Structure 1
């Protein structure tokens, strides 16, 4: 039995907002509930509602910029920067800029839509 797995066919999460989400490892791809690793591209002028996920999320910006509103603070990450947002933190993710944002997201435990708790 091999001690590694190369992922060349990530699960592409269906979206309706133009955002690309490719889960390489996690619940949807290999049933792993401990961690999820996804490549994402947020199009220009994209945003999500505020949420309070039950998992920590790490984000690394490959190119472009991404805006986070964490509780009441606005934080903008640029290419090469990363952030960890603790579980149960109220946050809004967006890309209010004119270029796409290419980034990697890691969630611990794994991303689970039933544990995102998006506001209406």
Structure 2
């Protein structure tokens, strides 16, 4: 019997968080040990934010529902549902949801997301 040439992911890795953000990694280091790409479905609660960071990976974000704020090297950008963005590696960025509704989105990182590569500021 030949090996399947596809993988269905219906049990994503739930990344533990302490800030109310829900992260379900479908493909990446935690789920299938893939260091080339990670794909995660996320929900950031109203009022959520994280520290500035300068990741060593490109990050693509597609907004499904709500709005998300990005401060990219000093410039504030707000994306709405149906919009997407690519932020190049080695770019200083802060992600947040200062709005009143949950922001649901897909994040894709190449190479895959890793705490060792995100370079969050204290």
- TM-score tier, shorter chain, comes to over 0.9
User: How far, CA to CA, are the matches of 2:93 and 2:121 in structure 1?
Assistant: 10
User: How far, CA to CA, are the matches of 1:41 and 1:77 in structure 2?
Assistant: 14
What's the offset of the Cα at 1:68? 0.1
CA offsets 1:11-56 (integer angstroms, 9 cap, x no match): 0000000000000000000000000000000000000000000000
Unpaired segments of 5 or more residues in structure 1? Answer: none
Query: Which residue in 2 is equivalent to 1:107?
Result: 109
What's the offset of the Cα at 1:109? 0.3
Query: Which residue in 1 is equivalent to 2:41?
Result: 39
User: How far, CA to CA, are the matches of 1:27 and 1:35 in structure 2?
Assistant: 8
TM-score normalised to structure 2 length: 0.98
CA offsets 1:69-104 (integer angstroms, 9 cap, x no match): 000100000000000000000000000000000000
The RMSD of aligned alpha carbons is 0.3
Unpaired segments of 5 or more residues in structure 2? Answer: none
Aligned residues, how many? 120
State the SS of the aligned residue for 2:8. coil
Q: Pick from 87, 94, 99 the counterpart of residue 89 of structure 2.
A: 87
Q: Moved runs in structure 1, 4+ residues, more than 2 A? A: none
Query: Which residue in 1 is equivalent to 2:20?
Result: 18
State the SS of the aligned residue for 1:34. coil
